[in-house]
Amino acid sequence: MQTADGARRDIVSVNLGQRTYDIHIGENLLQEAGRYIAPLLSRPFAAIVTDENVARHHLKALEASLTAAGIVSVAIILPAGEKTKGFTALADLCEQLLAAGVERQDKVIAFGGGVIGDLTGFAAAILRRGVEFIQVPTTLLAQVDSSVGGKTGINSAHGKNHIGAFLQPVMVLADTSLLETLPRRELAAGYAEVAKYGLLGDLSFFEWLEANSQILLRGDAQARAYAIHQSCSAKAAIVAQDETEQGMRALLNLGHTFGHALEKATGYSSRLLHGEGVAIGMVQAFRFSEHLNHCKAGTADRVARHLKAAGLPTHMNDIEGPLPPVSDLVNIMKQDKKAQSGKLTFILARAIGDAFIARSVPESAVADFLKEDLKSK
């Protein structure tokens, strides 16, 4: 729908019984955040958790909106970047939330990208044995993926997101206008998660992306809103059926087994953003599927061409600097959360739009594939 000023608005619901919540998608939503948030509060108070970059661009607007709705807020500003997503920052955040007077009935607002959403959600899950939180995602990646579904957590020395909890937000407020301040590299990284939904289960959406990705990345509001709606709808449908990833929700990890290993191998640094790791990982998943004769030759090349056109890396050799030996990468993958009984699990594909869960994949097959893949470019 459109508002009186022509702004586009949409709602996607995540249906989880009494814990059902709405994802509000649209332009200029931040200016009305107070109106959306006020009915959810037990008292007119909320704590905002954000990072330095988001605070510089958008914190005043959120605070003003809350004030206009009669809500007193306190802001906690953390360093930006993946290195914030660890035990030290978690402990510090919990102490700051307690010092701010956050009570069990209060709401905490996660105002940022995936790092802030994951960290804040985990802090909320453990603070006073559980407080509720609201997601206000500011990146494309967070708006289409990490803010939805209730996965929260931090990284460990053993890998990505290995310590955390499931805690669904009570609302997601995705203001598409906030994407205008995103650096191009961050926008492209988020686009990888958009493409993922087409690649894992919706060929027609992927074909739409092939035709419209460039205008989406250049800032076309209608294209962005449609892509975010489709992505959130796809994820909401899967989460509603398998909230805690006992089965089909694992499909949402297409590209992530490879990608998370590469993120750890690069030290969760600016060498490789999460979405970039996912992009490389998705191409590897399709190449590995071809290698195992699950899908026809040329499919991975199509995926790679599309992601490369969006400005994303598509091969391990696109990563600057050295990578560890293949054996080390495989060992990192053995710590993947999808592993069962010490056996590797991958999300592979029969075709674009037809992903499946492959369990008990032999380590030797993965190692042989990675060695070949490193030589292929």
Residues catalogued as catalytic:
129, 151, 193, 235, 245, 249, 253, 256, 260, 274
CA–CA separation, 97 and 119 (whole Å): 13
259 alpha carbon, distance to own chain's centre: 13
CA–CA separation, 304 and 326 (whole Å): 22
Length of the chain: 377
The burial of 110, by beta-carbon neighbours within 10 Å (0-12 exposed, 13-18 middle, 19 or more buried), is given as buried
**Token reading at 322:** 């050295």
Residue with tokens 């739409």: 208
CA–CA separation, 206 and 245 (whole Å): 24
Give the CA distances from residue 139 to residues 29, 109, 180, 193, 228, in Å, rounded to whole numbers and listed in that order.
14, 15, 10, 11, 11
CA dihedral 45, 47, 53, 58 (to 10 degrees): -10
CA–CA separation, 146 and 165 (whole Å): 13
Q: What is the CA radius of gyration of the chain?
A: 20
Is residue 216 within 8 Å of 179, Cβ to Cβ? no
